[in-house]
Amino acid sequence: MKHLPLFVLLALALAACAPQSRVPEISRKAAEEEARKQREIVVLERMKVQDRLRRVDFAVRAANVDLCKEKAPAVGFLTMDRDSAPPEYRDAYASLYGVTRQMTVISVFGGGPAARAELAVGDRIVSVNGKIIGGGSSGRSRVAKLIAEGKGRPLSLMVRRGVALVPVELTPAMVCNYPTFLRNDDSVNAFADGSRIIVTSGLMRFAEADDELAFVIGHELAHNTMGHIEAKTGNMILGGIVGAILTGLSGVNVIDPMMQVGVLAFSQEFEAEADYVGVYYAAKAGYDTKKAAYFWRRMAAAHPRAIGLQGTTHPSSAKRFLAVEAATREVAGKRARGEPLVPYMKSSRKRASKPAGSGPTQ
Ligand SMILES: [Zn+2]
C-alpha cells in the first residue's frame, strides 16, 4: 500500500466522494445543438422585450413631440448585418431573420412608421432615396444620415424580399429626440442622462402593464425635457464653489461633501416633478395612468424599505402613488373640460386655479 503512488490514492479517495447514480451521457454534438437552439431563444426573447419597449417608447415620444424642443424623425425598424451581430449570436440572427452582410430588417414594431409602410422582418435594404446601401458600419451610418437629413420627409426604400426587389415608401414620424435604450441588467431601474433614456431588462419584467412602462418612460423623458440633469450638474458645481470657499476659510477640505450636497439639492422635488409631468406624457400617448400608479404599490411590495424612507434622493413610494393618482385626476378633469393636456407650471398654476368670475380659491 505504501508503494502506491500518491495520485492513485487521491483518485481512489475522490472516487469515494463521486455521485453514485448512473446519469445519461450527453454527447458533445447534442449539447452543441441544444446550445444553438438556446441562443435562438435568447435572441427571440430579447427581441420581444425590445419590440415592446420601442412600441411604447415611440407612442410616448411621438404624442409629446410638440412639448419637446429637440425633435428627430423615427422610422420604426431595426436593422442588423452579420458584422454588427455579436459573434456568438451570428448564426442565430442568420437563421431567425436571414441576416447577411447586407443590412437586414430584424424588427418592425406594431403601429410605427415602418409597420404602416409594410416593411417586413427579413427585408434587406438595397437603397434609400436612390442611394445604394452597402453592408457594414458604412451602410449603417449612411442610412442613419439619410433618415436624419430627411427631417421627416418620406423615404423611398428599395428592399430585397426573398428574390424580389420591392419598393417601400416610408414616412418617418417626428418624436422627442431622447432615444431610449434597453440595458441587459436584472436590476429594476431606468434613468435619463440629459440626452437619452435607459431602461433595464429588470424593469421591463417588473412593469407588467404597458401603462406602467409608458409612465416610467414619461418620467425619464420629463427629466430630460425639464432640464433636471443640467440643473443637478449646476447645483453640483455650485456646491463645489461653496465648498472651495469654505475650505479656504476653514482649512478643512469640504469640496467633495459640498458637491454631494449640491447634487442632492432638490433631488426629491425633481423626482416629484418627473412623476407629475410623466403622467401627462403617458396620458397624452393614450395610456391609463390610473393603472400606472399601481407601479408604486407593487414597488412597495417588492421593496418595503421604499415605503417610509425619508431624506433620500426619491420621495417615498406612498407619496409617489398618491401623487400619480392626483395627477391622473387632474388630467381627467382637463380632458372632461376639453382643455389641452399640458402640465401646470408654477407661473400658470395661479391663473388656472382662479377661473374668471369665480371667488377666491384654495
Ligand atoms: Zn427619476
Q: Is residue 169 very low, low, confident or very high in pLDDT (cuts 50, 70, 90)?
A: very high
Where exactly does CATH 2.30.42.10 map onto the chain?
Answer: 71-176
Q: DSSP per residue over 245-311, as a string?
A: HHHHHHSS--HHHHHHHHHHTTHHHHHHHHHHHHHHHHHHTT--HHHHHHHHHHHHHH-GGGTS--S
Residue 302 has pLDDT above 50, yes or no: yes
- What pLDDT, on a 0 to 100 scale, did the predictor assign at position 277? 96
CA distance 175 to 112: 11
**Cβ-proximal residues to 311 (8 Å cutoff; 6+ apart), any chain:** none
Q: How far is the CA of 81 from the centre of ligand 1 (A)?
A: 35
The whole-angstrom separation of Cα 319 and Cα 82 is 49
Measure the CA–CA gap between 16 and 319, rounded to whole angstroms. 61
Domain with residues 71-176, CATH architecture: Roll (2.30)
SS3 104: strand
The alpha carbon of 209 and the centre of ligand 1 are apart by a number of angstroms equal to 19
Instruction: Please give the distance, rounded to the nearest whole angstrom, from the Cα atom of residue 154 to the centre of ligand 1.
Output: 36
Calculate the average pLDDT of the chain: 87
Per residue in 178-226, pLDDT (tens digit) is 999 999 999 999 999 999 999 999 999 999 999 999 999 999 999 999 9
Q: Is the pLDDT of residue 260 over 70?
A: no
How far is the centre of ligand 1, averaged over its atoms, from the C-alpha of 285 (Å)?
A: 19
Model pTM score: 0.82
Q: How close is the Cα of 215 to the center of ligand 1, in Å?
A: 11
pLDDT surpassing 90 at residue 173: yes
For the chain, what percent of residues have pLDDT higher than 70? 84
122 backbone dihedrals φ, ψ, rounded to 5°: 100, -15
- Give the lowest-confidence range in 155-164, 168-177, 223-232, 351-360: 351-360
206 CA distance to ligand 1 middle (Å): 16
Confidence band of 99 (pLDDT split at 50, 70, 90): very high
Decide if 114 contacts 134 (C-beta within 8 A). no
Can you tell me which residue has the cell 442611394? 131
Cα(62) to ligand 1 centroid in Å equals: 21
Q: Are strands 197-200 and 180-183 parallel, antiparallel or unpaired?
A: parallel
Q: Ligand 1 centroid to 231 CA: how many Å?
A: 13
Q: How far from 69 is each of 65, 177, 283, 348, 349, CA to CA, in Å?
A: 8, 8, 20, 20, 22
Q: Measure 196 CA to ligand 1 centroid, in angstroms.
A: 13
pLDDT at 316: 86
Q: For residue 338, how far is its CA from the centre of ligand 1 (angstroms)?
A: 30
